[in-house]
Amino acid sequence: MSAPLVWIILPFFASIVLIFFRKNYQLVALIQTAFCFFLVLLLLVVRFGDVDSTQGLTIKLTTTFNLLGRTLEFKNSDKFVIGIFYSILAIWSAALFIYNKHSKIIPLGLALSSLLLAAIAVEPFLYSALLIEVAVIIGSMIAVDLTTGKSKGIIRALVFFTLGMPFILLAGWYLAGGETSPVNDTQLVQATVLLGFGFVFWLGIFPFHSWIPLIAEESEVPDGLYILAILPFAIFIILLKYLNGFVWLRDYDLVYQALLLFGLVLTFSGAIWATFQTRIKKLVGYLTIIYSGFLLIALGLNSNQGFQIFSELLLPRFLSLYLLMISFLAIEKKGVIEQISDLDSLFYRFPIASISILMALFSVTGMPLTVGFLPVQSLYQESARNSTLIAGLVIGSNALLSISFLRIFVVIMQPLADEFDAVSILDDLKENKFLAAIIVIVILAGIIPNLFFPSFNQILSSFEFLAR
């Protein structure tokens, strides 16, 4: 049996099968949650290929699977990346089950995760662009809200990803067979420009970013935030695979200068838009843009410390989006929040959800005792070593965000009007226990970073030529 068969083919067909049983939504949600956790736990007892293992019980799987003349391949070092995809889907599915929230993530999330992993695993690698396009179509099916009919963000996402696909394909054609063979300067510049245009469209670099806040606003909360959590992560992994696979590309200084520039544009522009934003869901979309900027800056530093910061930034990114998602689910059971003004006196009505929202927001800026403190402070330090201008722009962006978040804090803590009664946390006790447990995990990750962050550094083991 092969690893791609278990973590790509099987989940894809499981998604198709579960569609026929979706009328029993809670049962299907429970099955998907259990199946995802099983796939994650299975990674602990398997090894891909001929790799020495000191574990007592290990199951050996082959690394390749041939499909339609193409090869899907996982190395043993890819296990952590696979685990992230299915861990995110597992905790999202668990939240949907606990809050009894209907979502197309059940069961299309399995199909989306398997397609994104296929895009990462496919050889020849240029076919990843085609698989990403199919994954975006599945993601659009998840993100569309049939009750409102709003689809502007989804259409823009489809357009931008479709525009990016031919650039990636052309770059792959240029680079085909050139992992080790030399290329002339003209070919290198052309391939770099093509790749650059492709990833500009895929990562939502200004001015092609508008689909991100629109999807956050137009989609149901769990659907939109799941897409914004998982899709950019897959694009970043593909970007790393390109850099790792071509020696003359990763040694080309212009590539890292472009990554720094794009990262600064995303971070600073996202902070400005977020500061003046009045719609809470759009604000969350801009936060994902800012985090993408952080990640690009970390890669653009082109240092071992920079790549490590990249991996560490992923944890607060996922946890912040997850905290916001389950907080909004808890609140929307008894009301609708669209504007920031709708959060007025929220602490007295939903105390645990309010704490969760504030913790997620301040984690983005790297406030002390939050999960974002360690990687954001490390980003400041490493940026300052490279350029004080870069560090100043990053710190200035976070200062703008902090002012915006303090405004939200004041709104949430606004005293209740006389005609409202405070809500007891004993209401919806099961949901509040779940939310409180996630908050405790996030606090522990901030206070004791060694519990979680070293694990995320395993991502770099898949890209041995970058972590040097």
- In tens, the pLDDT along 192-249 reads 888 888 999 999 898 888 899 999 888 888 999 999 999 999 999 999 988 887 777 7
Tell the burial category of 98 from Cβ atoms under 10 Å away from its Cβ (0-12, 13-18, 19+).
middle
Task: Produce one character per residue of 346-379: b if its CB has 16 or more CB atoms within 10 Å, e if not.
Answer: bbbbbbbbbbbbbbbbbbbbbbeebbbbbbbebb
pLDDT of residue 51: 59
Between CA 216 and CA 227 the distance in angstroms is 9
Residue for token pair 């070293």: 454
Q: What share of the chain is helix, strand, coil (3-state, %, to 5)?
A: 75, 5, 20
**pLDDT band, very low/low/confident/very high, at 348 (cuts 50, 70, 90):** confident
What is the pairing mode between strands 64-67 and 59-61? unpaired
- Position 256 pLDDT exceeds 80: yes
Q: Which residue type does 436 have?
A: A
Collect all residues with Cβ–Cβ distance below 8 Å to 149 and sequence separation of at least 6.
none
Collect all residues with Cβ–Cβ distance below 8 Å to 332 and sequence separation of at least 6.
221
25: left (phi over 0), alpha (psi -120 to 50) or beta: alpha
pTM of structure: 0.91
Between CA 211 and CA 307 the distance in angstroms is 27
For the segment 314-321, the average pLDDT, to the nearest whole number, is 92
Mean model confidence pLDDT for the chain:
85
Between CA 82 and CA 94 the distance in angstroms is 18
* pLDDT, tens only, 155-199: 999 999 999 998 888 877 776 655 545 456 677 777 788 888 899
Q: Which two tokens stand for residue 132?
A: 């990403």
Specify which residues 122 forms β-bridges with. Answer: 72
The DSSP H or E segment spanning 380 is helix 373-386
- Position 57 pLDDT exceeds 70: no
State the Cα torsion 384-389-395-401 to the nearest 10°.
-150
Cα torsion 89, 90, 95, 100: sign: positive
* pLDDT, tens only, 68-109: 778 888 888 888 999 999 999 999 999 999 888 888 999 999
pLDDT of residue 180: 47
**pLDDT band, very low/low/confident/very high, at 467 (cuts 50, 70, 90):** low
Least confident of 53-57, 332-336, 435-439: 53-57
Between CA 157 and CA 284 the distance in angstroms is 17
Between CA 374 and CA 372 the distance in angstroms is 6
Q: Are 108 and 142 in contact (CB under 8 A)?
A: yes
φ/ψ of residue 387, rounded to 5: -165, 130
How large is the greatest C-alpha to C-alpha distance in the chain, in angstroms?
Answer: 75
Between CA 200 and CA 160 the distance in angstroms is 9
Q: Which two tokens stand for residue 106?
A: 């059940």
Between CA 207 and CA 212 the distance in angstroms is 11
- Position 138 pLDDT exceeds 90: yes
For the segment 369-378, the average pLDDT, to the nearest whole number, is 88
